[in-house]
């Protein structure tokens, strides 16, 4: 079974600065997806970014980028030019590509605080 | 608008009183799932369904039931709620094919905050 670990329960960053959230996972599969979800106080689960394991290039979405290290099974999220609206709980998640593997496995979450 | 509709948003109930949390999706997704979110534990899967009349247990199924009589609906049933089922619950749906056709894959409901006293 796959597992996802986020070792930072809480992080803080000054507005306009950069912060990196860590995520490691364990799997025996070679083809899978990795995701970062944002959960603001509204509770909505918002997809921030996704990475396909067969792609070596790191995914980027505006101020959000990932550092995907497949051999090390590491998937960190970098938020540049942090904004107050980035304050939220962030979850790392894994999904198999196999037809029967539609399940999302989540990490424990990292609560990000953005200080003005 | 493509969405997963989950109701109610908040629910306070007493121990032992049966309740149902409804979930409906309008995207013709085959796969539907229920998660519970607890501090320090992330989201854990309760039950999932690969299609109509095909349900199976996730990681924490004890105390819960589900049914999938129609493709769009996947209700979560607590026959005899207990205080340890106080949690935030999410329903989610997804296409079941292996290679995701879009950037989202999963669509989540807005969550149900359940308190059992």
Tens digit of each residue's pLDDT (9 = 90 or more) over A1-51? 789 999 999 999 999 999 999 999 999 988 888 999 999 999 999 999 999
Q: Does B111 contact A95 at a Cβ distance shorter than 8 Å?
A: no
What pLDDT is stored for residue B98 in this prediction? 54
Q: Which of A87, A96, A89, A91 is nearest to A75 (CA)?
A: A91
What pLDDT is stored for residue B100 in this prediction? 55
Residues of chain A contacting B41 with CB distance shorter than 8 Å: 108
What pLDDT is stored for residue B94 in this prediction? 86
Closest residue of chain A to B39, computed from CA coordinates? A108
Whether the CA torsion A20, A70, A50, A111 is positive or negative: it is: negative
Q: How would you class B1 by CB atoms within 10 Å of its CB: exposed for 0-12, middle for 13-18, buried for 19 or more?
A: exposed
Residues of chain B contacting A33 with CB distance shorter than 8 Å: 100, 105
Q: Does B50 contact A100 at a Cβ distance shorter than 8 Å?
A: yes
- How much is the mean pLDDT over chain B? 92
What pLDDT is stored for residue B42 in this prediction? 95
A21: which residues sit within 8 A by CB, 6+ positions away? A6, A8, A11, A36, A76, A77, A78, A79, A90, A92, A110, A112
φ/ψ region of B49 (left if φ > 0, alpha if ψ in -120 to 50, else beta) reads beta
What pLDDT is stored for residue A103 in this prediction? 83
Closest residue of chain B to A59, computed from CA coordinates? B103
Quick check: helix, strand or coil at residue A72? coil
What pLDDT is stored for residue A107 in this prediction? 97
The pLDDT confidence band at residue B95, using thresholds 50, 70 and 90, is confident
What pLDDT is stored for residue B103 in this prediction? 47
Q: Does B98 contact A97 at a Cβ distance shorter than 8 Å?
A: yes
* B84 pLDDT higher than 90: yes
pLDDT tens digits along A71-107: 999 999 999 999 999 999 999 999 887 755 578 899 9
Half-sphere exposure of A35 (CA within 13 A, CB side): 23
What pLDDT is stored for residue A2 in this prediction? 87
Whole-angstrom distance, CA of residue B35 vs CA of residue B48:
9
Q: Does A103 contact B58 at a Cβ distance shorter than 8 Å?
A: yes
Strands B42-51 and B54-57: antiparallel
* B105 pLDDT higher than 50: yes
CA–CA min distance A45, chain B (Å): 6
Nearest to A107 among B42, B94, B98 (CB): B42
What pLDDT is stored for residue A54 in this prediction? 87
Q: Average of pLDDT values for B66-91? A: 97
Q: Average of pLDDT values for B10-21? A: 97
CA–CA min distance A36, chain B (Å): 11
Q: Average of pLDDT values for A107-112? A: 97
What pLDDT is stored for residue B97 in this prediction? 60
What pLDDT is stored for residue B2 in this prediction? 85
Quick check: helix, strand or coil at residue B103? coil
Residues of chain B contacting A50 with CB distance shorter than 8 Å: 103, 105
Q: Which of A95, A89, A107 is nearest to A38 (CA)?
A: A89
Residues of chain B contacting A97 with CB distance shorter than 8 Å: 98-99
pLDDT tens digits along A52-68: 898 889 999 999 999 99
Q: Does B105 contact A98 at a Cβ distance shorter than 8 Å?
A: no
> Cα A96–A10–A93 angle (5° rounding)?
5
Closest residue of chain B to A102, computed from CA coordinates? B96
Q: Which of B88, B89, B73, B79 is nearest to B32 (CA)?
A: B73
> Cα B46–B48–B53 angle (5° rounding)?
135
CB pairs under 8 A between A and B: 63
8 Å CB contact between A54 and A45 = no
């Amino acid at each position: 079974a796959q597992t996802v670990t986020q070792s930072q329960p809480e992080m803080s960053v000054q507005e306009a600065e950069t912060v990196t959230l860590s995520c490691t996972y364990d799997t025996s599969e070679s083809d899978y997806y990795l995701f970062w979800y944002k959960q603001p106080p509204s509770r909505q689960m918002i997809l921030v970014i996704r990475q396909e394991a067969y792609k070596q290039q790191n995914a980027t979405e505006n101020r959000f980028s990932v550092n995907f290290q497949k051999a090390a099974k590491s998937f960190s999220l970098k938020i540049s030019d942090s904004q107050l609206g980035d304050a939220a709980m962030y979850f790392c998640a894994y999904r198999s590509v196999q037809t029967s593997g539609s399940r999302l496995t989540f990490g424990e979450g990292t609560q990000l605080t953005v200080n003005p | 608008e493509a969405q997963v509709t989950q109701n109610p948003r908040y629910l306070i109930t007493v121990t032992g009183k049966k309740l149902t949390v409804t979930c409906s999706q309008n995207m013709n997704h085959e796969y539907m799932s229920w998660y519970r979110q607890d501090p320090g534990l992330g989201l854990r899967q309760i039950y999932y369904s690969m299609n109509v009349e095909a349900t199976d247990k996730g990681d924490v199924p004890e105390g819960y039931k589900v049914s999938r009589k129609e493709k769009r609906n996947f209700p979560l049933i607590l026959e005899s709620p207990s205080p340890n089922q106080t949690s935030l619950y999410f329903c989610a749906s997804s296409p079941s094919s292996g290679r995701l056709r879009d950037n989202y894959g999963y669509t989540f409901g807005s969550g149900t905050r359940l308190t059992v006293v």
